[in-house]
Amino acid sequence: MKKMVLVVAMLAVMVAGAAPAAFAQQGAAERIAVTGVVKDGPAKADGTPTYSITDESPITGTALPKGYILEGDYSAYVGKRVTMYGTPFKSGEVRVLDVSRIEYG
């Protein structure tokens, strides 16, 4: 009986230690790469310019390409084909890409 209690207690400790790590990964945002041409978008209500990019990479295959809004000044990249690396998130009904790195390509 004591052995059974000891085994159950050890399992409980192991599960309790693993649970926080499992939940932390669920909330972690994935980083992606988006390849396409940066386009000028309509200004926000406060006059801030917006930009967009639609994923045209061959990785998407037959799936519909996803478009992303870019927050920040990307005027230097308008009309240029680039690969943007970053973390996507939803803002209302639109997908936004929080860009961390840009490569020409």
pLDDT digits (tens, 9 = 90+) for 51-71: 999 998 766 556 777 899 998
Give the residue from 63, 57, 61, 62 showing the smallest Cα distance to 32.
57
Domain encompassing residue 55 = 32-104
Task: Give the chain's domain count.
Answer: 1
Whether 54 is covered by a domain: the verdict is yes
Q: Look at residue 65 and tell me if it is in a domain.
A: yes
Report yes or no on 21 lying in a domain. no
pLDDT of residue 28: 57
Q: What is the CATH number of the domain that holds 49?
A: 2.40.50.140
- Tell whether 23 is covered by a domain: no
Is 52 a member of any domain?
yes
Residue 20 has pLDDT above 70, yes or no: no
Classify residue 63: in a domain, yes or no. Answer: yes
Prediction pTM value: 0.67
Distances (CA, A) of 28 to 31, 57, 68, 84, 90: 9, 24, 19, 19, 14
